[in-house]
Amino acid sequence: MALNLKTLGTRSASAAVFVIVLLSAVAYGYASCLLLFFLVALLGLNEYYRLSEKLNAAPYKLVGTAFGITLFAWFSLPALQIWLHMDLTGLGRALAGALLLCPFVFLLIALFSDHPSNLWNILHSLLGLLYVVLPFSLLIIIP
């Protein structure tokens, strides 16, 4: 992509606003960083699914978003245990079980779908989780 001078000012201004929001979240505390990364992960996952539709895929958005929320919650659980002073071990086990079921749920949905390229759709749905949600989830566990 070539440098477009017409949109350079708009991109620079939006980047400056995001940096200010990020620094404010870091200065305010852990909960604000958790919320900011959660929102950015969900917005990024939605954008990824919209871009994959332009590649003639039909990702399973609702199920993918649900598993994205589950993945983010599972990675943020240890920090939430410390922050809330509660034992969330049972919730962690339930979230881990749900994450283990993720590929099977996608396969089950594809089995009853009448779209011609189900494997392509499953791959786009799962890669959205790995490409967008997982990095933001891993940012949460950095001390």
User: Residues near 128 by Cβ (< 8 Å), separated by ≥ 6?
Assistant: 45, 48, 49, 52, 59, 64, 68
Q: What integer pLDDT is reported at residue 135 of this predicted model?
A: 93
Contacts 24+ apart (CB under 8 A), 15-19: none
Is the pLDDT confidence value at 143 over 70?
no
Residues 6+ apart with CB under 8 A from 43: none
The band of 38, judged by pLDDT with boundaries at 50, 70 and 90, is very high
Instruction: Provide the pLDDT confidence category of residue 64 given band limits of 50, 70 and 90.
Output: very high
Integer Cα distance of 82 and 38 in angstroms: 18
Could you report the per-residue pLDDT of 115-142, keeping only the tens digit for each? 777 888 888 888 999 999 999 998 888 7
